[in-house]
Amino acid sequence: MNLKIKKLLVANRSEIAIRIMRAANELGIQTVAIYAAEDKLALHRFKADESYCLGQEGRPVASYLDIEKIIEIAIEAQVDAIHPGYGFLSENPDFVKACKKNNIKFIGPSENTMRSLGNKIEAKKIAKRAQVPTIPASEKLPSSVKLSQNIADKLGYH
């Protein structure tokens, strides 16, 4: 797979999308914006080289989280990569998987990294193996208040 990105879809909105587009522009990369119907006049839409509406009115949050539609737009726009910005989509390993399945580079961590570090218990185990200091806590949530009090006492919480 060619590492050079020529065209980037920014899967976010407003200020964060504009910042990503500005950086891409400085690198000579064309940009594609997506927008919910409610954002048809949003600035990020006009800062991109191309822009595509995600969906119906009345579903702005759901529109920006619609992995299938975003991938569909990415394929239609013939992008090389997607930058998710920040928020729920940027933390969704299924989005990374969908990008990979469609030969679109995902700008961010791998699916495996997200799955491991998105699980707080697994992330803590990884930190401990790497000898990173962690805050003492129970491994599992206790089933009763009494058990919670016992664990808290052992850990030094009062």
The ranges of the chain annotated as CATH 3.40.50.20 are 7-114
Mean pLDDT of 147-152: 84
Q: Which fold has domain 7-114?
A: Rossmann fold (3.40.50)
The pLDDT tens digits of the residues spanning 58-68 come to: 888 889 999 99
CA 123 vs. chain centroid, Å, equals 17
As a whole number, mean pLDDT of residues 86-114 equals 95
The mean pLDDT value of the chain amounts to 91
Residue 70: its pLDDT value, please?
Answer: 97
Strands (E), the chain: 7-10, 30-35, 50-53, 81-83, 105-106
Encoded tokens for 86? 């920040």
The 10s digit of each residue's pLDDT in 31-71 is 999 999 999 999 999 999 999 999 878 888 889 999 999 99
